[in-house]
Structure 1
Amino acid sequence: MLKWHSVAAVLLAAFSYAHQTGIAENYGDDDTEVNLNLGPDDGHIDPIRHEPLECLQVSHPVLTEDGLARINELIERHASQSSYSFRLMNASFGNSYGHPHVAPYTPPPRSFPRAYLNMTVTCQGHQFDRLATMWLGDVEIFRTSTAEPIENPGIVWHYTKDVTAFMPLWMRNSSLIFDLGNLVNEKYTGVFNVDITLHFHDTEVNGPHPGPAHFILPVSAGKGHKNESSAFIYPGDKAVTTVKLPGDTKRAILTIAATGQAEEEFWWSNLPESLAGYFKYSDNSRLPGGSSFREVRVFIDGKLAGLAWPFPVIFTGGIAPPLHRPLVGLQAFDMREYEVDITPWLGILCDGEDHTVSMEVQAIDDTEHPNGALTQVKGHWVLSGKIFGWREGVPGTRVIVGEEPTTNISDVLYKVGVGRPDPTELIYNQTISRSFEVRSRIRLPVEGDVTVVWKQELHMFNNGYMRHSGVWHDVDADYSGYGLSKYDASHGLSTGFRYPVSTTYWYKSPDPDTNATLTVLARLRQEMELTNMGVTPFATGIEPFLERLGGRRVSGTHLRAVRDGQAQFSQDKKHSYGFGEMRQTYELRATDSESVDKPWEPTRPDLLYFRGIKFVNETKTEDKEMVRDHLVQSDRPGAKTNGNPGNPAFNGWDKFAPLHGKSLGMSRLCAKGCPSKPEGNNAHRVDVDLEDNAVELQNLLAKNLV
């Protein structure tokens, strides 16, 4: 049985288990089984299931040869276009660590302007969620993860993804490598069966983005020739590779895939390093530290070229499994990549010589520096990158450097505010802001001398409150920023993001109110806002709608997705059970042409796609879907339902502090002490004056936290 003090540090990772490739699985002990096996005697709302439970990640439609398809369903039909389809892979993953599926890839008989893939996965039994990556040679094409299965008849999910961006790779012979590490034994029996089809079609799209890149270069471990995944497992691997760009390259964008694993999976809930040992445990163990800040730094020939802040993916076993079944978390089935414009470096990269591109993942150490210092993460990150390049198209030409790029990176302005109500409680606040800019003067054969600038602004706050020596934890965080490039007066890449996440969870082990060895009460609200405009290599979601926008000048899309739910999960020595509810809204809008200069504040005039969906105890109770201003008619279960079978009876929920307004919240407790944002170079740690907040603190504790 896990000790109380270790639950907060270990169970989060145990619930969302060991995704990383080649990392030994050693969480917890025999009492930490967390896969939700809901049978007839487990209080399941639907004890008899005749068909697999269908899991889903809400996403916008993809343009196919027949119209708009969402997941595996055609929701708006267009005139059919010529197409070519074939099965890309069909494989099962049981004991598959170090044994990816490998097969030769042969391109279609002719070229096509667009491509998408359709993935179907089935599984039944007990199993943790797993990370998977798909490669063409050394270039990562797709990063996904699995849902957690149930016993017979199991689960199934589908996902459709636009992969037009990889057309240069689809049109040549290569090796397909699909790496899904999994472990099967007498206890964890689930085998993942993965089927992927690849579709090409002749639908032409003339939008605000450039066509597919002329070439794609890997920034990876280069193990494709060994029939292995080319992901870097950082920091064990040194994430560095060598590239040589064609001399006539006129634009280049580096994309970064970064996923924290094991002790780094829940990095966004980590404590400041100086507080990781705050609670005194008998075995002298510490809670996860390094702050709730993570930054991927990209270097060209050892010089900083850009930054990427990862999205806080919560996998399908994370916090409490019922939060993710059947509606999985944001990006769980399709993990997006961050984009950095490296065009300012073309004067160096296009000189015909080899150049290094490297990546590192940084955390914050505030134990010796009052405003924190960047430090290498201690845990595991799965990293890869790729360079998308567009060529000038003039044979025998090359970019000529005018001067070496100049860069400017802000100081680390990290602030921590701390409150210590008693030895078993801790209140903290973390903030940081970052800015980066690189500029150079390059000479292009057609455009002539051009000043190229890439700039980024990034901001974070993270408020936390812990009780019972860490097994009760409230986190309210927000990560936001933008990236913007310009080539003299013309626009380049323009992206913006905002990733709020708020959760309250309480692990009781054992549960004094029941006979369970473990009970988890959890609430979760997670949002994702993404703006993608200008010169981006990936599909933004606007492609299916361009024909019907009537020639209006659009620059890209703005996406806002919100998940909000609650769950209770319990387990005893024989089985586990739970219930919960989750609601999600998903809204995709077009952005106008004037928004390219302001990715942090885009104008969103046209609704392209909307879906609002709700599940209670795995039963769909609401589902509304719109394409532009038209309601999508469907006979799928729950599509016409707006009823509510009632909220689950959460045992002990009245003693559990809810999120937001009724929880303590640093915005109220830190009014007189904690910093709200970094100011100048005099950042420092501030202890909260709890005496000034004593009345409010006492009232809030009495009302919500006792």
Structure 2
Amino acid sequence: MASRYLEKGVSNTAVRHHNYDHNGLSWREELPPITNESRMKFKLILTLLGLISFTWFTRLDFGQWLVAAPSLRQIIRSDLEQPQSSSTTTSATIFAPLQTRPVLECFQVASPVLGPDGPFPPPATGGGYDTTNNRAADEPCSVILMEHVFAFSYGMPFVGNYTPPSCQFNRVVMNFTVVSEGRQFDRLALMYFGDTEVWRTSTAEPTQPPGIRWTFLKDMTEYMYFWKSPQKLIFDLGNLMDDKYTGSFNATLTATFFVAEVETDAAPPADIIIPISTRKGATDGASQFTLPAEMATNTIGFPRNVNRAVFSISANGQASEEFWWGNVLESDVLTFNKTAGQLLGLSPFREVQLLIDGKLAGVQWPFPVIFTGGVVPSLHRPIVGLQAFDLREHQIDITPWLPLLCDGAEHTFAIKVAGLNDSGADTNVTLTETVNDSWYVTGKIFLWLGEGDLVTTGTGPEVNIVGPTISLSRQVTQNGTGSNETLVFDTIIERTVTIKSTINSGGQTGESIWTQNLSYSNHALLSNFGSSQINNLTIIGEDLATNPGTSYKTIYSYPLYCNQTYSRSAQGNISINAHLIEGLELQIEGQSIFPTGLEAFEESIAASKNSYIASQLKTHRDGTAFFFQTGDGRNSSGYGTTNQIFSFGGSRKGATLDLEDDFNELYFRNVTAVNGTIVFDSERKTGVEVYNFVQPPRLDGYADASLSLFALVSDKETQPKGFMGDDAHERPSAQVQIS
């Protein structure tokens, strides 16, 4: 069975964490700056990188695979297994024997979560916490929720029964640990309690033996409504296997329950959680809507004494919509029809909409998640992309709708996904009613009830929607023979949503307001007759909820730069080159329904006598990679370099558009991988360096064969991200499509 690391909250990356500099994100094509302490080491690494990659590729021979460069996981794990104070720095420089490469540890860089003993709690024995009668009622305990191998599991989710443990608890942290080996695509996974989705994640692409392993820790305290009573647990990880794609996913899911008195501004767990889903839990099915094939609509009634209501949306594109941000305008889908083929359209913009009784109540402009097989697979080994292991949900405050929703009648909630259509008979650009296939969406409503049976009343809501205002520009250039050679287009969009009402609830009367201000820009260039593509995307948003007794504010920015080139030789050999920069800035102030991250540092915050009004997260991930596949489709390989800088902290002034105005660092990591091996890793906790690792790159040019093998790409992967092809469902990056 899959190895289980201690469920109590070692850092979410299980391998070491990283550093980050506060001068703002730079979207130039250079690696971001690092701290002075590690600059000389890092310069050496970068100086040698070009030589390594060139030597590696020139020695590539599909008949004789190359010898392994070692993983650092053994050293890292042994370090984690020793008690470590915040004033201790651990350093290492090592070459591991080539013959003994351990399982490759994949990870998503993230800040620590709160465990029973803080963000880095002992013990490090992997046995978890006691669930027997030998422990005191107030001691933490662990429950194994799932041990399951997802082999040929498409349409066959794991189904189990959860029973609350006997220990006392007010917080819950899950540990998801997976091992896999062989060849396999990345797969999407959704976890449900009955009909309600509670977590969305995805898999890393495995290597040849000895394979890979990853562990992700997830704070699940917001679902106390479910944890306190028996539940049907459904975990849907649709995998397909055959003689070529041999990788299964051996997964273990464990929950640790404990008591911790945490004084942050996060909202207390909701009294009721209502799913917006296909509601297939009773028949042991997964309950996501698949758009556009299905209508994502539920009709429900509210209790009449609700004093706060928040809707959360979980949505991401699959199949033809996985790389929605790389699509072209609908008017340009045939621009390279004679060379690259028909492209996917409806623009590189997507809007996820929440409608209540047919009226717009709020929107999500989705984060452009890139899964571990996306763009070039070697970009993501072992450092996976932003949110790949933990797809973040977006919350929309619907408290202004309570005068309507508490009237005793049923009301309709719907989720839609829209793109842009600029190909109509007139010159107007409109939001579409549908998109390409497909989007997986669910929703849920968190409700907090007032005391007693007092009915919530009021006036409203008053809905004021501005936009979206849409600006498009495009230009096509041709070569001397009249063939389309380049396409340049810009997409700029803005939107404002304001919902207001007056609420009378639980003896409190006041104004309830939900506002959203969003902007989007995507500057795109397709060149070389459609075989090269650049997208430079930025999404910026500010959401604000003000209600009687509660408030919530979040500011977010999603920058993405992707430069990719595809080519095919006369022999049919395929090569893909890419430079990918992902970014995320996120600030949260007030009563978020989800943990903000400050919980893990409650003890440090109290000791420093700081009181933070908002959490601040900023990360920047920069990678370059190459992929090669032989014309017969029998062999594929890749190499790449990825650096990620991650910083998390608090602000005493609250969420602001100027992230640098008042930032107090609590956690920091800077990590670099070259050809599947960590070569640089530095971590700080509450301003103190706790880990510093450097492995000088090998000078002989050898790379581990098992780290350079990837799932094969189809012919369609040699086209731009917006390429349609004969059957877009066969795209190998689509996690659960049947070919």
Match of 1:232, as an amino acid? F
* Deviation of the 1:554 alpha carbon: 1.8
Alignment of 1:44-443 (within 5 A): 45=69, 48=99, 50-69=101-120, 82-281=139-338, 285-368=341-424, 369-375=426-432, 376-392=434-450, 394-401=451-458, 403-422=459-478, 423-443=484-504
CA shift, 1:349, in A, is 1.4
Aligned residue type for 2:686 = R
**Residue in 2 that maps onto 1:539:** 595
Cα distance in 2 for partners of 1:191, 1:37 equals: 27
Superposition deviation, residue 43 in structure 1: 7.5
Distance 1:99 1:588 in 2: 38
Distance 1:255 1:455 in 2: 15
Pair 600,343 (structure 1): closer, same or farther in 2 beyond 3 Å: farther
Q: Offset at 1:352? A: 2.5
1:253–1:340 Cα contact (<8 Å) kept: yes
Query: Is the CA contact 2:461–2:500 (under 8 Å) kept in the aligned structure 1?
Result: yes
1:540-619 pair list within 5 angstroms:
540-550=596-606, 551-572=609-630, 573=632, 574-592=634-652, 594-596=653-655, 598=656, 603-619=661-677
Q: Aligned AA for 1:556? A: A
Q: CA deviation at 1:353?
A: 2.3
Residue deviations 1:338-393 (CA, integer Å, cap 9, x gap): 1100000111112222221111000000112535100021221000111111122x
Alignment of 1:480-499 (within 5 A): 480-487=540-547, 492-499=551-558
Distance in 2, matches of 1:40 and 1:591, equals: 55
Contact between 1:44 and 1:617, CA under 8 Å: does it hold in 2? no
Please report how far the alpha carbon of residue 649 of structure 1 lies from its aligned counterpart in structure 2 after TM superposition. Answer: 12
Alignment partners' CA distance in 1, 2:669 and 2:614: 19
Of 552, 559, 575, the residue aligned with 1:500 is 559
Query: Which residue of 666, 671, 689 corresponds with 1:631?
Result: 689
Q: 1:220 Cα deviation (Å)?
A: 1.1
Q: Deviations over 1:273-320 (max 9, x none)?
A: 11111113279x520111111001101111111101111000101111
Aligned AA for 2:496? S
Counterparts of 1:390 and 1:607, CA distance in 2 = 33
Please tell me whether the aligned partners of residues 69 and 101 of structure 2 are also in contact (alpha carbons under 8 angstroms): no
8 Å CA contact retained: 2:468, 2:496: no
CA deviation vs aligned residue, 1:126-157 (integer Å, no higher than 9, x gap): 10000000001111111000011111111110
Structure 1 counterpart of 2:53: none
Distance 2:395 2:428 in 1: 28
Quick check: 1:371–1:414 contact (8 Å CA) kept in 2? no
Flag the 1:105–1:503 CA change in 2: closer, same or farther, 3 A.
same
Q: Percent identity?
A: 36
Q: Distance in 2 between matches of 1:111 and 1:38?
A: 57
Question: In structure 2, the residue corresponding to 1:582 is in which secondary structure?
Answer: strand
Question: For the Cα contact (< 8 Å) 2:618–2:647, is it kept in 1?
Answer: yes
Q: By how many angstroms is 1:37 displaced? A: 13
In the alignment, the residues of structure 1 paired with residue 468 and residue 330 of structure 2 have an alpha-carbon distance, to the nearest angstrom, of: 15
* SS of corresponding position for 2:119: strand
- Residue 348 of structure 1 aligns to a residue whose secondary structure is helix
Q: Deviations over 1:633-691 (max 9, x none)?
A: 4xxxxx421745589899xxxxxxxxxxxxxxxxxxxxxxxxxxxxxxxxxxxxxxxxx
1:71 Cα deviation from its structure 2 partner = 13
- What amino acid does structure 2 have at the position aligned with 1:532? I
CA drift of 1:193 comes to 0.8
List gaps (5 residues or longer) in structure 2.
Answer: 1-59, 71-97, 126-135, 479-483, 704-739
- Which amino acid letter does the alignment assign opposite residue 147 of structure 1? A
Q: Relative to structure 1, is the Cα distance of residues 329 and 282 closer, same or farther in structure 2, using a 3 angstrom cutoff?
A: closer
Pick closer, same or farther for the CA change 1:182–1:415 going to 2, 3 Å.
same
Asked whether the 8 Å contact 2:69–2:702 carries over to 1, the reply is no
CA distance in 1, matches of 2:431, 2:218: 36
Partner of 1:673: none
User: Are the aligned partners of 1:88 and 1:197 in contact in 2 as well (CA < 8 Å)?
Assistant: yes
**Maintained 8 Å contact 1:72/1:118:** no
Aligned partner of 2:694 in structure 1 is: 641
**d(CA) in 1 for partners of 2:643 and 2:436?**
35
Deviation at 1:115, TM superposition (A): 0.5
Evaluate the alpha carbon distance shift between residue 84 and residue 411 of structure 1 in structure 2; reply closer, same or farther with a 3 A threshold. same
Task: Please give the secondary structure, in 2, of the residue aligned with 1:344.
Answer: helix
User: What code does the residue aligned with 1:621 have?
Assistant: V
Which residue of 1 is the match for residue 680 of structure 2? Answer: 622
Flag the 1:491–1:580 CA change in 2: closer, same or farther, 3 A.
Answer: same
C-alpha separation between the residues in 1 aligned to 2:543 and 2:642? 32
Could you tell me how far apart the structure 2 residues matched to 1:371 and 1:648 are?
56
Alpha-carbon deviation of 1:600? 7.0
Instruction: Assess, with a 3 A threshold, how the Cα gap between structure 1 residues 386 and 648 changes in structure 2: closer, same or farther.
Output: farther
Amino acid at match of 1:206: E
TM-score (norm 2): 0.77
Matches of 1:277 and 1:251, distance apart in 2 = 49
TM-score (norm 1): 0.80
For 1:493 and 1:599, the matched residues in 2 are separated by: 15
In the aligned structure 2, how far is the partner of 1:45 from the partner of 1:549?
41
* Contact 1:579–1:648, Cα closer than 8 Å, also in 2: no
Q: Could you say what secondary structure the match of 2:559 adopts?
A: strand
Q: CA RMSD in A?
A: 2.5
CA gap of 1:240–1:87, structure 2 versus 1, over 3 A, is same
Change (3 A) 1:308 1:207: same
Corresponding residue number in structure 1 for 2:734: none
Residue 90 of structure 1 aligns with an amino acid whose one-letter code is E
C-alpha distance after superposition, 1:567-611 (max 9, x if no partner):
11101133111111000011001122x425x46768543111101
2:517 equivalent in structure 1: 457
Q: What amino acid does structure 2 have at the position aligned with 1:290?
A: L
- Structure 1 residues 645 and 527: alpha-carbon distance in aligned structure 2, compared to 1, 3 A threshold: farther
Instruction: Give the partner amino acid of 2:504.
Output: R
**CA-CA distance at 1:111 after TM superposition:** 4.3
Amino acid at match of 1:478: T
1:71–1:44 Cα change, 3 Å? farther
* Alpha carbons of structure 1 residues 73 and 477: separation in structure 2 relative to 1, 3 Å: farther
Partners of 1:641 and 1:89 lie apart in 2 by: 37
**How far apart, CA to CA, are the structure 1 residues paired with 2:654 and 2:504?**
28
Give the whole-Å Cα distance in 1 for the aligned partners of 2:399 and 2:550: 12
Alpha carbons of structure 1 residues 603 and 108: separation in structure 2 relative to 1, 3 Å: farther
> Aligned AA for 1:641?
V
Q: Name the structure 2 match of 1:41.
A: 65
Structure 1 Cα separation of the partners of residues 121 and 528 of structure 2: 45
Q: 1:72 Cα deviation (Å)? A: 11
Structure 1 pair 300–602 and aligned structure 2 pair: CA distance change class (3 A): farther
- Aligned counterpart for 1:521 among listed residues 577, 580, 583: 577
Q: Per-residue deviation at 1:503?
A: 1.1
